Every structure is written in structure tokens, then in C-alpha cells.
A and B are shown apart, each in its own frame.
Chain A
Amino acid sequence: MNFNIAVAGNPNCGKTTIFNALTGAKQRVGNWPGVTVEKKSGHYNHSDIKFDVIDLPGTYSLAAFSAEETIVRQYLENDEADVVVNIIDASNLERNLFLTTQLIELGKPLVLVLNMMDMADEKGLQIDVDTLATLLGAPVVPVVGRTGEGIDLLKEKILRVSTEISMKARLIDISYPRDIEIEIEKLHQLIQENDVTDKHSRWTSIKLLESDQQTRDEVRLHNNGADILDQAKVSINRIEGLFKDTGRAIISSARYGFIQGAMRECVVESLVGSVDYSRQIDRVLTNRWLGLPIFGLFMWLMFKLTYDIGSIPMDWIDSGLVALMNFISDLLPNSMFASLLVDGVIGGVGAIAVFLPNIFILFLIIAVLEDSGYMARVAFIMDRVMHNIGLHGKAFIPMIMGFGCNVPAIMGTRILESRRDRILTVLINPFMSCSARLPVYVLVAGAFFPDNAATVIFSMYILGIIAAIGSGKLFSRTILKGMSKPFVLELPPYQRPTLRSLILHTWERGYLFIQKMGTVILVGSVIIWVLGYFPREVELDRDYGSERTTLTQHHDTQLADLESKFKKSVDQDRSGYHSEMIAYESSSSYLELHEQFQLLQEELSSKKSKQLYSLRQQEIGDITEQKWIGRVGKIFEPIVRPLGFTWRESVALITGFVAKEIVVSTYGVLFGVGEDVDEGSQGVISGLRSSGMTPLVALSFLVFTLLYTPCLATVAAIKRETGTWAYTIFSVAYSLGLAYTLAFGVAYFGRMFNWLS
């Protein structure tokens, strides 16, 4: 035997805490069909009965105003739940009961949970729980979700309401002013006579008075539906004439009237000794002068902690991966399979795996900000700025997160309520320069702008922000026009987050990252490995082997020449040396000659190794050019030639689609210094410099790298969060277009004015 329990309540009422307390860690996260609203479900056993629990999205009402409200309403109207558990923030009773009045009218067996009783006490609110239960006709359980106090009693009440018929039948009607009741009754009778709905005919009547579109559509389908709608029209006109407002506003106001009546009977407010702690905290945190600096400090701390703490396990993972690579190479020397594992799988997936600590720490900090209530203040502080781009203040958080990694940032757009805001934020997020782009900047800027590298890198970040703001303004005036929702934001009381909910939040998001992005990166890395590995045998125009021999021989001859010259000079010098006191080999003139000889010798050998190295680079370049990866690069070369790019840049940018940091390792392969390069590698820097790239082309390359689609994982995240391929393809096409245009602009105007050539 099992029962379905639906947990409903306002946002910020502690619903998820109660859900966690009921189900423990046994929960699953998914999406509601067709929409990107999280669906959480779990279960628990009580008295040998299994209870399946659904955590419904937090809503203020059931008006179908937002995606969340529509989901909750459909779920409850479809009779899937046996019992509805309504979580009510006791410290904010009046507004929370608004949803309760609608849940009562839906007629489901109901258990009311007064959460945050401790905060209600602090606020000086004394609630008469028994009277409230009588007035609302449903059992009321006071709990403190954070400590788990009252959860056992709640489970007991849920069990009784599920199993005992007598517990179900007690729901009362919310009473409305007499004039409204008359009209409700008329509609109610008509609906019952025509069998429109068997269970919640009173709810349907009230919804008709509210001119609710969904209800009207349902009623219209029935026999005599038109008659009912006609009666509804008459009734609405009557009450609107009487109360001088719309039907929906009248009903809502009347619900608040009922709530106020109930509050008078069961709540005693003593202002003596009550403190609004949140308000005291906000005197500092959202203070007119201190609010912004403190917010800035928090953001800086967020980055600092993410990168500083994250770098410790990052090094462990890194050395672990290197050890694993070495182990496999030793085990399977020179086999194709070893190369696939080491260079393809571990090299590619490992490049992402090292970022996991950063990502988990970032998610943990975000969870702290959300659970504590500070996130709402961020929206409050930054709304003015974000409003400029046509966005909600909360959208600032995913934008900032984008500097770390666009994937969690795009997933973080879920904190936004309106779909239009979510899509807009998702579309502009990739322009926030993520940490994976930094290695590319460091490499290229270091090679071509050694004196101004920091300035160049910083301007990339600024250009990214400008691109995001500009695109945001453009989108909100064109493709995403007029879908904006008014800014109505609750600032919930501050709370100390519970460890359990922090861990759960962090894990849920982190796991999605591992799961989704791991697969994409894996496939992409293997593809690039295949392109770089085949064909095995390539034909080269030049005979590098004999060139190498000639070069070595040439050097050996030169060295021999030098030696004989030195000997000659020494002999000459010795013949003119007469001192008996000091041996010739210790004389200053000999030492001088010897020193000169050594210098020339060193110069010669370093010249030799440089030439050999450059020859080797040319050889590997030539080989890579013949591999599939090079051929692909050649195909795209004509397209990127106007930007000043060669087939090498074309290959680097294509591989950068998998992940931006791969650009660096691709250059490593192209210049034959192996894949184990980092951005400080001298081999790649000298390779880039000798490849004919000018500082201007380098700048154009950086602009392109900044602006084009960050990585496959981001594309996957965009698809996931927007839910459509249309926006995903648009995002890729738009960012490619913008990258090409701006990079071309840099190259074109640079050539025109002879900058940086």
C-alpha cells in the first residue's frame, strides 16, 4: 500500500527543508514534462506504509500566472495526490494562508504545517494552533524544519489523514461576502446539475467568477457549458458592479478578508520583546552606502574561495591524472589503445575533471547565498543595473558565475522565475569570459604582448561584458520583446542554512554537471583524438631525416673549425710567452682566449639545437597538416583567412568547440611540443611567433576566442535550459557571427591603419 503526498507552499516557506526532513537523502531530481522547472520526488516509510512525496514548486497562488503555478494546479487538479501537505511560514502567516484558502477549495485531504515556529516566536506572534485547525477544517502541525522538531508528529498526521475517512471529510468552505456567495451558489448548482465535475464544483464556480481561462475552457467542452458560461458572465457583472473591481481582484481580496478574520481569532501579536532580526541585518547589508561595497566584497570572496581552495584538490587530481597516464603508457607502450586512453580520454575528460573542485565550491557558496536569503538581497541591490538590459536583478548571479564556468552559470538561471528572463540570461551568458578561456589569453597575449599582457587580458574580460550587455539590450528589444514580468520580489527573513540542505543542493547540481558534461566532453575528446591520430602514415614533401643529418654535419664542421682556430691562437700566444713564475695555462691571456672559445662554442651548440628544434616543429606541423585534423583545418582556412588566420588557427578554433582550453593543447600538438603544454610553454610561444602570426592577428584571434561558443558542454547546457534547439542553434550562430564580425573588424581596421603589424 502506498500514498502520494504532494508538498505545496509559498516560495521561502521552508518547503524544501520539510521535504528533505521527510524523505532524507532518498530523492530524485528531474524536470516537469515540457518545462525546465525542477521536479523533486522522494519517499519514506511510516507504519509499514510507503509514502511517495512530490515537492511541488513554491507558489504564492494557483492562478496559473507562472509556469510553476500552472504545474502545481494541474498536478493537484488531476487527482494524483492523496494528501496535500501545505507548508506555511508561521512568521508570515497572513500571506501564506492565501495559498491555503485555494488548497482548501480544491478539496484535497489537507495537512497544514506551521513551519518556522521559532521565528514566529521571535517576532512576538502567538498562534493558537487548535483554533486555526478548527477554522480551516484541517489538522495543523507546528514544526521547526531546521531542527526537525515536529516531523514525527507530521508523519503521524499524514498517515491518519491518508487512512482515516473521518479525517478527510472535515474541510470547510472559505466563506465569502453574502453577495459573492449567492453567485457562487448559482454557479455551483448549475455545475452540479450538469455533472461538469464531480469533486471540486465549488472551486470551479469560484474560478469562473475569477474569469479563469483554463476553467472556462474546460467548462465550455461540456454539455450546457455555454449556459454555465452565460450565467458566469451575469454573475461576474453583478459582483463587479457591486464591488467596483474585477472578479479576480474581488475574490482575492475576499480571501484576504477571510484570512484576516481567522487571524483575529487565533493570533496574538505582542510587540514587546519582538525583534525583526532580518531587518537589523539588512540595515547593514542593503544599506544605501554599505550595501554595494559589501556585495562586492562577497563576490570577491566567492571567487577567491572558489579558486584558492579549489586549486588544492585541483593539484591532486592533476597529479593523479598524470600518474594514471604514465601508468597506462607503461602498461601498453606505443599502442593505439594507449594513445586513445591517454591522449584522448584522460587528456580530454581530465581537462574538465580538474575544474570539478572549483565547480563544487562555487555551487556550495551559491547554495549558502540562496538558503540564507542573501540571494534575494542581491536581486534587490543589482536590479537597477540588470533592469537596464531588460532583466531581473536576480539575473546578476548567473552572470557573475559565468566568469567561473558558463555551464553551472547557465544551469543557475533556474533561479529566475520568468522563462523570457531565463532565455535572455542563457543567451548572453557565454560572453562572460569563463576561466577556460584564460589559458588561451595567457598563451597568446604572453607571446605577442609580453609587456602589456595583463592589459590585453583585462580588455578581453571587458569586451565580454560589453558584448553581453549589448546583446542583452538587442535581444530584449527584438526577439524577446515585451515578455517581461513586473518585478515583485519577496525579501525573506535571513536564516542559518542547514548543512544537510547545503550538501543536497551542491550535490544535485554538481552531479548534473558530472553526468551531462562528462559524456559530451568524452565524445568530443575522442573525436579530436581520432582526427589527430589518423591517417597513421603520411607522405611529406621534404626529407626531414636527411635535412637533419646535413644540419648536424654542418654544425660538426663548424665546431671542428672553431677548435682548430683556438688551438692555432693558443700556439701563437704561447710562443710569445716568457714568464717563468706562472704557467702558461694560468696566464691571463690564455684564460681570455679560452673564455672566448667557450662562448663561441656555446653559441654554436645552442644555434644547432634551435635549428634542429625548428626543423622538428616544421616536420610535426607538416605531419599534422596531413592528418585529418589538418585537412579539416585546411577546409576552413579560406573562411578565416580574412581574419588573418591560417589553417593552424582554424584547427585550434575548431577543437576549441569541445572546450576552450583545448585551444592551448591543440597548439601544443601543432607545434610538436606534445600535449602536455600549459600556457607558459616556451615551445608554443616560439612556435606561434615563428608561424608568421602578427600581434594584430593575435589580437583578432583573442577576440574570436572570447566571443564564439565557449564549449560543447555549454551548448548542451543551453539546450537543456531553453528546452529548444531553436535557441541553442541561434546562440551558436549568433556568437559565431559576432566573433567573426568583431575579429574581422580588428584585422581590417588594424591593417588599414597599420596597427601592430
Chain B
Amino acid sequence: MFNFKKPRHKLHISDENDLRLSDLKPGEKGRIVEIGGSENFRHRLIEMGLTRDAEIWVDKYAPLRDPMELIVKGYHLSLRGMDAQKIAVERIA
């Protein structure tokens, strides 16, 4: 599904049909597949516990629709939609 051959570079999540964290609705749960974006951004998220295969739960969106509130590893975290779009997830029930 993803091109892992060049791990040092920004991941190009090229598949048009894949699911992003920003696509999940409040109450939906996903498992992290891959994080794109800048190195600093990826590493920051991983350090905050958004590791590959981590379960992530969309709790709600802010009153002005952005950012979103997530629950990961038992704590609440907020990300902007534009950043959540860089996170590929698979939906879990």
C-alpha cells in the first residue's frame, strides 16, 4: 500500500483511496498506518505516542470545526485537520 523504500524522505501517501485521520468522524476509531509530513512533525507525534499500529479515537471537533480532539494512549490530544490529513489510518470497529 505504501512506498517504504525511501524511509528517510517524506512519505508520499499516493493512493487516492486511502483513509486519513482527518476523514474519521467523531466517535470513530482508527489504527495508525503511517505518518507523513516533515521529519520534526513525524517524530513529535511518535514521541507523543502516535506510533505505528497505535489505536486512535476521534472524540470531537472544535466548535469552529478545527482542530480535532483525539484520544490516544488514554490521554486527550488535539491536532489540526491539515496535520491529521498527513496521518494514514485504517478504521477499526
Contact = CB atoms under 8 A, between A and B. Distances in A.
Interface string A605-629: 0000000000000000000000000
Interface string A479-494: 0000001111111110
A95 B7 contact: no
Interface in A251-293: 252-253, 256, 278-279, 282, 286-289, 291-292
B66 interface: yes
Contact of A65 (B44, B60, B62, B83): B44
A488 B73 contact: no
Interface residues of B, number: 38
Nearest to A290: B63
Interface string B49-78: 101101000011111111101000111111
Interface string B22-47: 00000000000000011111111111
Nearest to B40: A65
B13 interface: no
A94 interface: yes
A63 B64 CA distance: 33
Contacts of B51: 252-253, 256
Nearest to B77: A490
B62 A380 contact: yes
Contact of A486 (B7, B37, B69): B37
A566 B66 CA distance: 83
B39 A246 contact: yes
A381 B62 contact: yes
Interface in A398-457: none
B48 A240 contact: no
Contact of A383 (B38, B47, B59, B67): B67
B4 A244 contact: yes
A3 to B, nearest CB: 30
Contacts of B45: 488
Contacts of A292: 63-64
Contacts, number: 130
A639 interface: no
A282 B59 CA distance: 10
A240 B37 CA distance: 18
A98 B43 CA distance: 13
B69 to A, nearest CB: 6
Nearest to B5: A244
A60 B69 contact: no
Contacts of A641: none
Contact of A286 (B39, B62, B65, B73): B62
* Size band of the interface chain A makes with B: 35 or more
A585 interface: no
Contacts of A554: none
B79 interface: yes
A735 interface: no
B4 A286 contact: no
A95 B44 CA distance: 12
B39 A92 contact: no
B62 A384 contact: yes
A385 interface: yes
B76 A248 contact: no
**Centre residue among B4, B42, B49 by max chain A CB count within 10 A:** B49
B80 interface: yes
A249 interface: yes
A249 B79 contact: no
A487 B7 contact: no
B7 A384 contact: no
Contacts of B49: 94-95, 98, 256
A61 B47 contact: yes
Interface in A63-108: 63, 65, 91-95, 98
B64 A92 contact: no
Nearest to B61: A288
Nearest to A383: B67
Contact of B69 (A65, A249, A286, A387): A286
Interface string A379-396: 111011101000001000
Contacts of A253: 46, 51-52
**Centre residue among A240, A288, A380, A385 by max chain B CB count within 10 A:** A380
B79 to A, nearest CB: 6
Contact of B63 (A246, A288, A487, A493): A288
A245 interface: yes
B78 A487 contact: yes
B43 A65 contact: yes
A376 B69 CA distance: 12
A491 B61 contact: no
A328 to B, nearest CB: 55
Contact of A487 (B4, B47, B69, B80): B80
Contact of B67 (A60, A278, A380, A493): A380
Given A286-B63, A383-B62, A249 B76 contact: no
Given A246-B39, A490-B75, A252 B46 contact: yes
A254 to B, nearest CB: 9
A279 B59 contact: yes
A257 to B, nearest CB: 8
Contacts of B69: 282, 286, 380, 491
A387 B80 contact: yes
A491 B8 CA distance: 31
Contacts of A123: 74
A92 B73 CA distance: 8
A63 B43 contact: yes
A123 B52 CA distance: 25
Given A95-B48, A246-B8, A253-B52, A286 B66 contact: no
A493 B76 CA distance: 8
B7 A240 contact: yes
Contacts of B76: 278-279, 282, 490-493
**Centre residue among A384, A393, A492 by max chain B CB count within 10 A:** A384
B44 A486 contact: yes
A487 B67 contact: yes
A483 to B, nearest CB: 12
**Centre residue among B44, B61, B63, B69 by max chain A CB count within 10 A:** B63
A289 B77 contact: no
Given A286-B63, A485-B40, A488-B77, 4 more contacts: A65-B44, A123-B74, A256-B51, A383-B62
- The 3 lowest CB-CB distance pairs between A and B, nearest first, are A384-B64, A491-B76, A291-B63
10 contacts: A61-B47, A92-B74, A95-B73, A95-B75, A240-B8, A246-B7, A256-B54, A486-B38, A489-B79, A492-B75
